[in-house]
Every structure is written in C-alpha cells, then in structure tokens.
Amino acid sequence: MNHVSFKPAANELDGKVILITGAGDGIGRQAALTYAKLGAETILLGKTVKKLTAVYDQIVAEGGKEPAIIPLDMKGATVKNYKDMALTIESEFGKLDGLLNNASILNSLNPIDHIYEDAFDKVMKVNLKATLFLTQALIPVLKKADKSSVIFTSSGVGKKGRAFWGEYAISKFATEGLMQTMADEFGHTNIRTNCINPGATKTTMRSKAYPSEDVSLLKLPEDIMPTYVYLMSDQSVDVNGESLDAQPK
Ligand SMILES: NC(=O)c1ccc[n+]([C@@H]2O[C@H](COP(=O)([O-])OP(=O)(O)OC[C@H]3O[C@@H](n4cnc5c(N)ncnc54)[C@H](OP(=O)(O)O)[C@@H]3O)[C@@H](O)[C@H]2O)c1
C-alpha cells in the first residue's frame, strides 16, 4: 500500500486525540479539519487566535468533535509553557495519540553571507527548538496512549541543500535529525516518530518563497492529506524513523 494514495475508513481516527501545531492556516489547518472529519478529537495550537477559532467553528459546523484551542506563540514560549500545556492535556484527555509538528516559518531567502543572527535565531527557535521542547514535554502523555504517532514536518531542502534557503534549510535538516534520533530512542515503545515532506503546496509560506509562480500547478493542502492520515492511523503502526514524501515523485 502506498501512503500517497491511502484511503482511510470514515472513522479511521475515531477515539484518537491529536495535537496539531500551526493549525490555523495552510497545511496544519487542513490536517486539523481532516483529522476531525475522520473522528479524532483535535487540539489546535497556533499563534493567531482568530485563525484557530475559524478552524474550530468549521470543525464543529462539519459535525466533528469539539476541538480544544491552545493559543501559543512558539517564538516566545518557554519549556514551562509546554510542561503546563502537557499537564492540561493529561487532565483533560488522559492521553495523546498523535502530535503533528507542523508550525514553521520561512523568514526570507538569502545567501549564506547574508544570514543574520536575529533571523537565524528566530527560525531556529520556531522550527527546531520550540518543536523539540514541545515534543519533549508531551512524551509522558504520548506514553499514555496505546499507540502514538509523532510527525515532524520536513522539506525537500531538509534532505538536499539548495542555494539561498539558508537558515530554513538548516532547520529542516536538523528536523530530520531530531526525528531520526527520537525514532531510534523510542522505537521499542508505543511511540513511533516520522517526518513528512509535504512538497510544493499552495499556502502562504509557499507564496512567500515563490511569489510569481503559476499557483494553478501547485497541490492544495487537501491533496496531500493521505500521507498525513496514514501516519496518524494505526495502519502505520510499524513505520518508524521514515521520512515520507506526501506527493508522488
Ligand atoms: N507549503 C509548502 O510548499 C511546503 C513545502 C515544504 C515544507 N512545508 C512545511 O509545511 C509546514 C506547513 O507549512 P505551510 O505551507 O502550511 O505554512 P503556512 O501557511 O505559513 O502556515 C504555517 C503555520 O504555522 C504557524 N506558525 C508560524 N509561526 C508560529 C509561531 N511562532 N507559533 C505558533 N504557530 C506558528 C502559523 O500560524 P499563524 O498563521 O498564526 O502565523 C500557521 O498556522 C511547515 O513546517 C513548512 O515548513 C511547506
């Protein structure tokens, strides 16, 4: 079975509690809507409250289970914020079956000799450091589920460097390393860990990187959902340490 063409059952994610970072926009928004439609209870984490409440409203309007909202700016959040969040999730839900680490920033494209410290720190904070410590804080509650799935979001430039993608590309290489390290450490437990490379997808981030491209040629977030669902579903229970492309080559 190919994950790109995975066809989930209507209740594929029934009974699962799934947290999505960056759930207010782009791919994360679509993943939250899709997981909710397939029966999951979703926890929507993101920076802009208005976007999160719009996703909340849409999930409820479509008959999904009422989501929880966690407004959090991962640029400023601390380890204590993540630990408090994990305790709240444990007391509200008792377990966490899935974590989609999706939130990231691109900042701007620059040659190596124009990477500046503040931009580097900002991208590394959101894309890597915050993602690591958020995941770390959630490990105890991920252990409470029978089978839990952690997904990190990579990129083509996290597997092969590309000129001018600077700190963003570096953060995605590090994300692949984080995934592999965690997968090796937790592979014998109930927690499996994998990466998704979404591929070129029509979102705000993509339009920042390629402002003048023909967007009609791009995949939409809904087109790439089979891989996002596959890795959250029990169908992928033996998949660990993989970096999957969400689009066919
Ligand atoms: N689109 C592509 O072609 C493509 C290709 C390869 C990889 N990716 C990866 O796919 C993932 C999703 O990208 P996308 O294209 O959907 O991007 P997007 O449309 O820009 O959405 C990014 C999401 O991350 C959230 N976010 C950004 N900074 C945050 C912060 N400090 N704290 C909390 N949330 C924050 C945003 O919230 P706000 O809207 O509230 O700021 C937004 O919901 C990213 O990891 C990206 O690197 C995308």
pLDDT for position 31: 98
48 CA: nearest ligand 1 atom: 40
125 and 74 Cβ atoms separated by less than 8 Å:
yes
Look at ligand 1, atom 48, and give the residue with the nearest C-alpha: 198
Catalytic: 116? Answer: no
Quick one: 23 exposed, middle or buried, by C-beta within 10 A (0-12, 13-18, 19+)? buried
What is the secondary structure of 42-61 as a DSSP string? EEEEES-HHHHHHHHHHHHH
Closest atom of ligand 1 to 101 CA is 45
pLDDT digits (tens, 9 = 90+) for 153-207: 999 999 999 999 999 999 999 999 999 999 999 999 999 999 999 999 999 999 9
Q: What is the number of other CB atoms lying within 10 angstroms of the CB of residue 208?
A: 13
Counting residues of the chain whose pLDDT is more than 70, the rounded percentage is 100
- For the chain, the average pLDDT equals 97
For the chain, what are the domain ranges? Answer: 12-199+225-245
CA 232 to chain CA centroid, Å, is: 11
User: Mean pLDDT across the stretch 6-22?
Assistant: 97
Cα 188 to ligand 1 centroid, rounded to whole Å: 31
Mutation test residue for ligand 1: of 102, 108, 151, the one with most atoms within 8 Å of CB: 102
Cβ count within 10 A of residue 163: 10
If you measure from the C-alpha of residue 7 to the centroid of ligand 1, how many angstroms do you get, rounded to a whole number?
Answer: 25
Q: If pLDDT is split at 50, 70 and 90, which confidence band does 43 have?
A: very high
Q: Model confidence over 201-246: pLDDT tens digits?
A: 999 999 999 999 999 999 999 999 999 999 999 999 999 999 999 9
CA torsion 150→200→116→164, rounded to 10°? 130
Mean pLDDT score, 99-113? 96
- The domain covering 12-199+225-245 belongs, at the CATH homologous superfamily level, to NAD(P)-binding Rossmann-like Domain (3.40.50.720)
Does position 1 have pLDDT exceeding 70, yes or no?
no
Does 100 score more than 70 pLDDT? yes
What is the strand order of the sheet 243-245 is part of? 68-71, 41-46, 17-21, 98-101, 148-153, 191-197, 243-245
CA of 205 to the centre of ligand 1 (A): 6
At residue 249, the pLDDT reads 77
Catalytic residue, candidates 35, 82, 168, 230? 168
* Nearest one of 167, 204, 233, 219 to 51, comparing CA atoms: 204
